[in-house]
Amino acid sequence: NAGVTQTPKFQVLKTGQSMTLQCAQDMNHEYMSWYRQDPGMGLRLIHYSVGAGITDQGEVPNGYNVSRSTTEDFPLRLLSAAPSQTSVYFCASSRHGDSYEQYFGPGTRLTVT
């Protein structure tokens, strides 16, 4: 099992550009989520999904879109990148009802200039 995979590992964007961060898992987990990690702020939930076709907002959803067309994939879209979105982004998955035990991907380090 590859677990949770994320691409790319690093990305530099200019303000106003758009991009999609990819996330996939092969553990057949129903629940998937996106977090951003900033120094001194821990991990903050951006969006999450409890199954294909179902998504919901987390703590910091503004500027990000998600969709969940399959159980395996959960891409995160930045529509118009801003410097405030410079961060490390983590995708995670877990079994439904076991949100305490999340499996994280290796992260994407995004810089917006």
Binding-site ranges for another protein (CB under 8 A): 4, 31, 33, 35, 40-45, 48, 50, 56, 58, 90, 92, 96-102, 104-107
- Please, which residue, 37 or 65, has the CB nearer to another protein? 37
Smallest gap from Cβ 57 to another protein, in A, equals 11
Among residues 95, 112, 96, the alpha carbon closest in space to that of 36 is found at 112
85: number of Cβ within 10 Å:
19
Cβ neighbours of residue 24 closer than 8 Å, sequence gap 6 or more: 4, 5, 72, 73, 74
Query: In the bound complex, what is the minimum distance in angstroms from residue 104's beta carbon to another protein?
Result: 3
Strand partners of residue 54: 51
Query: Which of residues 17 and 52 has its CB atom nearest to another protein in the complex?
Result: 52
**What's the closest the beta carbon of residue 102 comes to another protein, in angstroms?**
6
